[in-house]
């Protein structure tokens, strides 16, 4: 069960003028739940994205990169769950493009204006004929208020859908932001992560939008990890429809900072939701690292803790075997780390004082914190002013079971 996370209230998700969503069951996934999602964008909408750095990038990722690199408009996104279309060679690329062709025929746009996305089992041929036959049902269900349904349709091993909204005012114009994400396993940050789609009705310049998607990814999806494995299909797409009627936002404007902040709030909520719904998760863990020489150093230590199987299994067991935290810090590869300046807290309990066990620390206090469903680990490296935060979850028996039975 997810840690303090419930499905979003569909009625609370804000419609984004210029965005319509539809979903239907194509039979690609094992269960009869919608597994095909279509998003139609208005003319003039602008789109930017970041993708996995996994060298075995899936066919749809390759097609998306080609489309966005061409610099033309994007009129639609099509997403299937249950099949990753990865490791499928030339046939996989042809299947991804066929799905774009099918969308283009139905919506009356060019196939080079369609972005395809897939998630699910790797190395299996994409049943593109199922997508082609089901797309008309997606088109018939297109509606601005379908964010909740769409978020459910892109799920694989997720236990709950992930979506949220924010609104703000810029120069007297009401601006809306809504996003959805899927992902609970094979997750480690590297440029972007999982499948995430965020849209706003603000008018944003193309250069500013691409900068914004990278900056937002860095403070949200690049700060979440479940198991340290970066997927072949990771994609984060940001859409700005321009329907709010505001003056175009450029990267140097105060309005840029306001909009980026709102979009980042949505992204952080989605990123944390992913960790809360991590495969088999029973605990949500926040790792805060401060006192680093630079942010990269802080991130390295935080990820070292968050991705350590020994640390994560100790959290699952509620076992204050906190030497594992020291192991992870020391394993992060920080040159010249003076352990006599390192301090460590588990929740409100000081564990390490100047590199050694704190005089006030007791096993009972450590066990008390470890039993909580939400735990914060705070590390002060004592060597600078940089800091960061990473979110993760524990490793339970169910993580192994879910992944051992993923294809069955």
CATH number, residue 233:
3.60.70.12
Report if residue 263 sits inside a domain: yes
The answer to the question of residue 191 being in a domain is yes
Is residue 393 assigned to a domain?
yes
**Number of domains, the chain:** 2
Residues ≥6 apart with Cβ < 8 Å to 3: 276, 277, 281, 282, 283, 284, 373, 374, 393
| Residue 332 near residue 307 (C-beta atoms within 8 A) | no
The residue from 252, 276, 300 where one domain ends is: 276
202/349 same-domain check: no
Q: Is there a single domain that holds both residue 214 and residue 259?
A: yes
Cβ-based neighbour number of residue 95 at 10 Å: 24
Boundary-marking domain end, from 276, 296, 323: 276
DSSP-derived 3-state class of residue 129: helix
Q: How far apart are CA 41 and CA 72, in angstroms?
A: 13
Residue 148 CA to residue 180 CA, distance in Å, equals 8
Tell me, yes or no, whether 362 and 397 share the same domain: yes
Q: Enumerate the active-site residues.
A: 193
**Cα–Cα dist 214/118, whole Å:** 21
For the chain, the distance separating the N- and C-terminal CA atoms, rounded to the nearest angstrom, is 20
What values do phi and psi take at 270, rounded to 5?
Answer: -65, -40
Could you tell me where the DSSP H helices lie in 247-356? 254-276, 295-306, 309-316, 323-330
Q: What per-residue confidence (pLDDT) applies to 186?
A: 42
- Does any domain span residue 309? yes
Does 146 share its domain with 87? Answer: yes
Q: Are residues 255 and 355 in the same domain?
A: no
For 103-144, what is each residue's pLDDT tens digit? Answer: 999 999 999 999 999 998 889 999 999 999 999 999 999 999
Residue 58 lies in a domain: yes
**43 shares its domain with 148:** yes
* Residue 386, beta-bridge partner list: 292
Among residues 269, 196, 271, the alpha carbon closest in space to that of 239 is found at 196
| Domain endpoint, select from 276, 294, 329 | 276
CATH number at residue 315: 3.10.20.340
Q: Is the dihedral of CA 158, 59, 215, 206 positive or negative?
A: negative
**Predicted local distance difference test score (pLDDT) of residue 156:** 86
Please name the helix (run of DSSP H) or strand (run of DSSP E) that holds residue 182, with its range, or none: strand 173-182
Cα–Cα nearest to 215, from 257, 155, 168: 257
Asked whether residue 378 is assigned to any structural domain, the reply reads: yes
pLDDT of residue 278: 78
pLDDT reported for residue 188 = 45
Per residue in 245-271, pLDDT (tens digit) is 999 999 888 999 999 999 999 999 999
If phi over 0 gives left and psi between -120 and 50 gives alpha, with beta otherwise, what is residue 333?
left
pLDDT of residue 408: 57
Assess whether 253 and 388 both reside in one domain.
no
Q: 247-255 long-range contacts, Cβ below 8 Å, gap at least 24?
A: 247/171, 247/203, 248/203, 248/204, 248/205, 249/170, 249/202, 249/203, 249/204, 249/205, 249/208, 250/205, 250/207, 250/208, 251/205, 251/207, 251/208, 251/211, 251/212, 255/170, 255/171
Q: Give the sign of the dihedral formed by CA 291, CA 295, CA 300, CA 306.
A: positive
Angle between helices 59-70 and 89-107 (to 10 degrees): 50
Contact 333, 300 (CB under 8 A): yes
DSSP three-state, residue 407: coil
Beta strand extents in 42-172 (DSSP E only): 46-51, 76-83, 114-121, 162-170
Q: Where does 323-383 have alpha helices with state H?
A: 323-330, 363-370
Residue of 166, 169, 195, 168 lying closest to 181 (CA atoms):
195
Q: Do 288 and 271 reside in the same domain of the chain? A: no
User: Do 328 and 367 sit in the same domain of this protein?
Assistant: yes
* 270 and 377 inside one domain: no
What is the rounded distance in angstroms from the CA atom of residue 217 to the CA atom of residue 251?
A: 16
- Is residue 4 in some structural domain? no
Sign of the alpha-carbon dihedral angle for 49, 55, 57, 62: positive
Structure confidence at residue 343 (pLDDT): 97
Say whether both 391 and 305 belong to one domain: yes
pLDDT at 183: 79
Q: Is residue 3 part of a domain?
A: no
Residue ranges of the chain with per-residue pLDDT less than 50: 186-193
Residues whose CB is less than 8 angstroms from the CB of residue 24 and which lie 6 or more positions away in sequence, other chains included: 34, 36, 134, 137, 138, 141, 153
What pLDDT does residue 192 have? 34
How many Cα atoms sit within 13 Å of 348 on the Cβ side?
Answer: 2
Same domain, 299 and 195: no
Domain housing 83: 10-276
């Amino acid at each position: 069960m997810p840690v303090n996370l419930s499905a979003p209230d569909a009625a609370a998700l804000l419609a984004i003028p210029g965005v319509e969503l539809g979903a239907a069951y194509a039979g690609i996934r094992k269960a009869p739940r919608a597994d095909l999602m279509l998003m139609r964008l208005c003319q003039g909408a602008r789109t930017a994205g970041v993708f996995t750095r996994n060298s075995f990038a899936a066919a749809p990722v390759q097609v998306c990169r080609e489309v966005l690199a061409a610099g033309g408009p994007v009129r639609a996104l099509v997403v299937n769950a249950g099949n990753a279309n990865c490791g499928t060679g030339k046939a996989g690329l042809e299947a991804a493009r066929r799905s774009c062709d099918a969308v283009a025929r139905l919506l009356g746009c060019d196939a080079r204006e369609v972005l395809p996305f897939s998630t699910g089992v790797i190395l299996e041929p994409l049943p593109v004929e199922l997508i082609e036959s089901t797309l008309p049902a997606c088109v018939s269900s297109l509606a601005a208020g379908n964010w909740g349904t769409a978020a459910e349709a892109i799920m694989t091993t997720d236990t709950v859908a992930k979506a949220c909204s924010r609104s703000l005012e810029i120069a007297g114009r009401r601006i809306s932001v809504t996003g959805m994400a899927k992902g609970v396993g094979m997750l480690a940050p590297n440029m972007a992560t999982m499948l995430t789609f965020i849209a706003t009705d603000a008018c944003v310049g193309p250069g500013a939008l691409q900068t914004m998607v990278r900056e937002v990814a860095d403070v949200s999806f690049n700060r979440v990890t479940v198991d340290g494995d970066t997927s072949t299909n990771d994609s984060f797409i940001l859409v700005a429809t321009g329907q709010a009627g505001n003056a175009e936002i450029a990267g140097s404007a105060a309005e840029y900072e306001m909009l980026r902040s709102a979009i980042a709030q949505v992204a952080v909520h989605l990123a944390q939701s992913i960790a809360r719904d991590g495969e088999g998760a029973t605990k949500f863990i926040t790792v805060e690292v401060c006192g680093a020489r630079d942010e990269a150093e802080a991130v390295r230590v935080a990820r070292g803790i968050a991705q350590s199987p020994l640390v994560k299994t100790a959290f699952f067991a509620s076992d204050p075997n906190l030497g594992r935290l020291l192991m992870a810090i020391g394993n992060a590869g920080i040159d010249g780390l003076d352990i006599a300046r390192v301090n460590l807290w588990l929740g409100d309990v000081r564990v390490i004082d100047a590199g050694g066990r704190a005089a006030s620390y007791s096993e009972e206090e450590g066990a008390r914190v470890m039993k909580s469903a939400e735990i914060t680990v705070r590390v002060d490296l004592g060597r600078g002013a940089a800091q960061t935060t990473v979110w993760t979850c524990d490793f339970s028996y169910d993580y192994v079971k879910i992944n051992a039975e993923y294809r069955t």
